[in-house]
Chains A and B, each alone.
Chain A
Amino acid sequence: KNEVEQSPQNLTAQEGEFITINCSYSVGISALHWLQQHPGGGIVSLFMLSSGKKKHGRLIATINIQEKHSSLHITASHPRDSAVYICAVPLGGAQKLVFGQGTRLTINP
């Protein structure tokens, strides 16, 4: 079993829909990261969460430490949000990231 599990693996929605991507982890962590990978491969760090909730524009990330679960929400989704979204947790003294398998999001106009 992977230490980080994401769902769904693929998600297709219409422009304007509210999107939720889930991430569960099985280890104790200091923080959880949400990343965005565009088709060209480049990765952008969206959020680093250790508790509660963070918001940046139309993106909202929440984490429940007790339940070992985090969600990434996108409000008023747009085709430019189409990307792979990855959650990751740092482990060990060197804080090596362990990644979920990613969620491929496609927003149709």
Chain B
Amino acid sequence: SQTIHQWPATLVQPVGSPLSLECTVEGTSNPNLYWYRQAAGRGLQLLFYSVGIGQISSEVPQNLSASRPQDRQFILSSKKLLLSDSGFYLCAWGGQLGDGYTFGSGTRLTVV
């Protein structure tokens, strides 16, 4: 079965500091990978998705970037965090027709 490992679970970072969140997938190859964010009291918003190694599509302009250096690895980064980057970040695998989605356990980021 497919599993997603996402870390860290919680993170408190000062404004202006860098960010790196990592997500790895097991049990599948060439998955579609997604980064979502949920701001406090809001719904889930797609940030980035990737259909293959090195292929990144951004959904919204922002202070973040994503990379996929390996087939089963998806990284969310920022060079300088803003207060508005606070939220709950979820990595997900899925999207192939006929398959469901599997979500990571999430990272709660607080920028102070």
Contacts and interface: CB of A to CB of B under 8 A. Distances in A.
Interface of A: 30, 33, 35, 41-45, 48, 86, 88, 90, 93-102
Contact of A96 (B34, B88, B108): B34
A96 B59 CA distance: 10
Given A95-B94, A95-B97, A97-B101, A41 B38 contact: yes
15 contacts: A41-B90, A42-B105, A43-B90, A45-B103, A48-B101, A86-B43, A94-B57, A95-B94, A95-B96, A96-B49, A97-B34, A97-B46, A97-B94, A98-B46, A102-B43
Interface of B: 32, 34, 36, 38, 43-44, 46, 49, 51, 57, 59, 88, 90, 92, 94-97, 100-103, 105-106, 108
B51 A33 contact: no
Nearest to B95: A95
Given A43-B106, A97-B101, A86 B32 contact: no
Contacts of B94: 95, 97
A55 B105 CA distance: 25
A6 to B, nearest CB: 10
A43 B32 contact: no
Nearest to B51: A94
B104 to A, nearest CB: 9
Contacts of B88: 41
**Max count, chain A CB within 10 A of own CB: residue among B43, B51, B90, B97:** B43
Given A100-B43, A102-B43, A94 B108 contact: no
